[in-house]
Each structure stands twice: as structure tokens, then as C-alpha cells.
Structure 1
């Protein structure tokens, strides 16, 4: 294979694998920000918290990090339900969620980051599962399992969640709660209970994304800062409440960044990826999978 073509193909494949990690990090935000209209700026910090929790459980019990993330998911759901309960009690029910609620989630983010520094220090942590050093070669094409396994697991999780939201009564209620809570009340459904349940799911997804993240790269308490802009951009680009759009936008982001880094250097990657976001918003303001008003 021509060296330039081989470089391009490998950059695209690596970009798709990177994009699947972005999708894992952004899927929970698509629920809280896109479906519930809650600007959870702390979501990337919750992903990092999940990664550190996976490091502890995986190291202590000798489990695969992705399995550890699954075992931790119920605990993260409870954490999310608790965070939403406080958010609703102090801000949402009084109509202060716009500014004061945003400040609340900034506070959650800083508490998580400072708490991680106090407990774990500022050093990077990582997990090496048994497949981390295995790479499949197909001619000039490389396929590292360190990225393939968490990426495939993330996409499978998002697919299962999308199926749940589309086919169950509770899933449809989650999709409707931010648009018309009064209609839910007419059906004897408590919008607050639905939002608490859904926000718990979004935080559980953050914990699962942390398990995928710590397999792919080392993490430190400040790693979430790298993802803040990306995950919000991906959710907006994908159409806010669309999980399929979120995945497509994440894969496009990953490919754009990797191809740019391979041919023009990594310093250009964010500019090209966010430039693609601006183009999408210019010609399709509702995002790739969003519906026009």
C-alpha cells in the first residue's frame, strides 16, 4: 500500500476509535444537556471520577476495568440521583437553574477535582488489562485492542440505551420531560422523578466512560478539562437530544482530529474539529440529527 494512503487509512481508523471514546464521554451529556436541559458542566469531571474509581476497584479486585465500570454503575446512578435532588431543591424548583444552577455544577466539578487531588495526588493513574498490548495487523493497517475493546463496548452501551429510550414508556417519558412536563403530569407522571432517574443514568454513563478512558490513556484529576469543550460541541453538533447524532458527531470529531494530526500536526487538530462544528451550525443549526423548529 502507498505510504500516504496507509497513513490516511490508519488515521481514519484511529480517529474512529478515538471518536468512540468521545461518544462514551458525550452520551451522558446528551441526556442531561440535550434531553433534560440541565447544563451539567461537571460531566467530564464525573467521567474522571469514574476512571479513578475503576483504578481502585480494578486494582483491588483484579478485575477487568470495563467490568469494574459496570459494577460501579449503580453507585454512580445513586450519585447522579443525589446531585439532581440537590439541584432541583435549591435551584430548579425556584427557577434559578440558568445562572445559579450553572454555578452549582461548576462547584461540583471543583469539589470532584480537588477531592481527587487530596485522595490520589496529582500523579497520573492507568490500568493495563490483559489485551492492552495486543495489536492486530492487516497489512499496513493497525488495530490496537487497547482502543478497540473500550470503543466497541461504549458503542454497544449507547446502542442499548437508545433502544431503551425508544421502546420503553420510561424512555419516552425521559425524551418528553424537558419539552412538556405538564403533559406528563396529566398522565400522572412526576416530571421530577423522571428527571432524577434520567440524570442518574447520565452520571452512570459518565462512570462507564471513565472505565473506557482509563484503558485508553493515563488520567489525572484534571483530565476532564481536555474533554469539556469537545463533549459539549459533540452534543450540539449531533442535535442535542439525539444519541445517534451524538455518536456520528463524535466519530466525525475523532476522524477530523486524527487525520489533521497525521498530516499537519496535532496543534491544528482542535481548530479543524471545531471548524467542522461551526460549518454544521452554519448550514444546519439544529445539528446533524436535530429537528428543525
Structure 2
């Protein structure tokens, strides 16, 4: 095989695996931002918190990091439910969620970062797994399990979430809460209770994404900064409330970034990826799978 073609194919495959990680990071934000209209700018910080917690637990117990991520996810759900309760009481109920609510989540983000530094220090943390050093090879294409397994688990979790939102009663209520709250009240459904549950679900997804992130790369308290722009761009490109669009946008984002970094250097990859976002929004302002107003 031509070396340039092999390099391109490996860049595309690695980009798809990277996109799986991006999809995991963006899925929870798609729930909070796209479905609940809660601009949780601290979402990547919760993902990093989950990653560091998983890394510490893995070092102490030796359990698989993705299993540990699933085990800590309920705790993140409870944290999210409490956080949304405070957000609703002090901002959303009074109609101050636009600017003051955004400032609230900025504050939460910095509290998480400072808390991580005070608790475990500024050094990086990493979770290892028994399968992480294995690489499958298909012809000229490398499939490192360190990237493949977290991407597969993340996409499976997003698929399960999509089925829940489409077929479960509570899932359909979550999908409807930002569209017609009064209709939910007529059905004797408390919109605040639904949003509290869904926001907790978004942070549980952040914990799962954190477990995947801890396997893929070392993380420290400030690692969430590099994901803020990416996850919001992916959610917007995918169409806000569309999980399918979120996954497709994440995969495309990962491929564009990785191929650009492979052939032109890593400094060009963010510019090209965000340029692709602008191009998509110029053609479809509602995103790839969003509905036109």
C-alpha cells in the first residue's frame, strides 16, 4: 500500500476513535444544553473530576477503569440533581438563568478545578487497564485498544441513552420539557423534577466520559479547558438536542482534527475543525440534525 494512503487511512481511523471520546464528552452536554436549555459551562470540569477519581480508584483497587466509571456515575447523578436544584432555586425560577446562571456554572467550574488541586495536587493522573497496551492490526491499519474500547463503550452508552429518550416515559418527558412545559403539567408531570433527573443524567454521562478520558490520556485539574470549545461546537454542529447528530459531529470533528494534525501539524487542527463548524452552520444554521425553526 502507498505510504501516504496508509497514513491517511490510519489518520481517519484514529480520528474516528478520537471522535468516540468527543461524543462521550458531548453527549451529557447535549442533554443539559440542548434538551434542558441549561448552559453548563462546567461540564468538561465534571468530566475531568470523573477522570481523576477513576484514576485514583483504579490505582487503589486495580479494577478496570471503565467499570469504575460506571460505579461512580450514580454519585455524579446525585451531584447533578443537587446542583440543578440550587440552579433552579436561585436563578431559573427567577428568570435569571441567562447571565447569572452562566456565571454560576463558571464559578462551579473554578471551584472544581481548585478543589482538585487542593485535594490531589496539580500533577497529572492516568488510569491503566490490562487491555490498554494491546493493538490490533488490520493490514496497514492500527487499532489501539486504548482508544477503541473507550470509544466503543461510549457509543454503546449513548445508544442506550437514545433508546431511553425515545421509548421510555421519563425519556420522552425529558425530550419534551424544553418544548412545552405546560403540556407536561397538564399530564401531572413536574417539569422541575424531570429537569433535575435529566441534569443528573448529564453529569453521570460526564463521569463515564471521564473514565474513558483517563484511559486515553493523562489528566490534571485544567484538562477540561481544551474540551470546552470542542464539546460546545460538537453539540451545536450536531443540532443541540440530537444525540445522533452529536455522535456524527463528534466523529467528523475527530477525523478532521486528526487528519489535519497528521499531514499539516497539530497547530492547524483546531483551526480547520472549527472552520468546518462554521461551514456547517453557514449551510445549516440548525446543525446537521437540528430542526429548522
For Structure 1 versus Structure 2, the TM-score category normalised by the shorter chain is over 0.9
| TM norm structure 2 | 0.99
Equivalent-residue separation in structure 2 for 1:194 and 1:56 (angstroms): 33
Q: Distance in 1 between matches of 2:30 and 2:284?
A: 18
Distance across 1 between alignment mates of 2:28 and 2:72: 15
Does residue 127 of structure 1 match 2:144?
A: no
Q: Check if 1:251 corresponds to 2:229.
A: no
Alignment of 1:1-293 (within 5 A): 1-293=1-293
Question: Aligned partners of 2:204, 2:47: CA distance in 1, in Å?
Answer: 9
Look up the SS of the partner of 1:149 in the other structure. Answer: helix
Q: Secondary structure at the match of 1:266?
A: coil
CA deviations over 1:157-211 (Å, ceiling 9, x no partner): 0000000000011101000101111110011000000000000000000000000
- How many angstroms does 1:217 deviate by? 0.3
What is the CA distance between 1:266 and its match in structure 2? Answer: 0.7
Q: How many residues align?
A: 293
1:56 Cα offset (Å): 2.0
Q: How far did residue 57 of structure 1 move?
A: 1.8
Distance in 1, Cα, partners of 2:242 & 2:261? 28
Q: CA deviation at 1:118?
A: 0.5
- 2:19 and 2:70 mapped to 1: Cα distance? 21
Q: What secondary structure is seen at the aligned counterpart in 2 of 1:267?
A: coil
Q: For 1:132 and 1:16, how far apart are their aligned partners in 2?
A: 18
1:25 deviates by 0.2
Cα distance in 2 for residues equivalent to 1:267 and 1:109: 26
Partners of 1:141 and 1:165 lie apart in 2 by 36
| Structure 1 residue 139: Cα displacement | 2.1
User: Could you tell me how far apart the structure 2 residues matched to 1:91 and 1:138 are?
Assistant: 53
| SS in structure 2 of the partner of residue 142 of structure 1 | strand
Following superposition, the deviation at residue 284 of structure 1 comes to: 0.3
Q: Which runs of 4+ in 1 moved over 6 A?
A: none
Distance in 2, Cα, partners of 1:174 & 1:127: 33
Q: Normalization by structure 1: what TM-score?
A: 0.99
- The CA RMSD over aligned residues, in Å, is 0.6
Deviations 1:215-261 (A, max 9, x none): 00000000000000000000000000000000000000000001101
* 1:46-96 Cα deviation digits (max 9, x unpaired): 000000111122222211000000000110000000100000011000100
Distance in 2 (CA, whole Å) between partners of 1:255 and 1:261 is 10
Query: In 1, distance between residues paired with 2:104 and 2:65?
Result: 30
Secondary structure of the residue aligned to 2:142 is strand
- Distance in 2 (CA, whole Å) between partners of 1:189 and 1:58 is 40
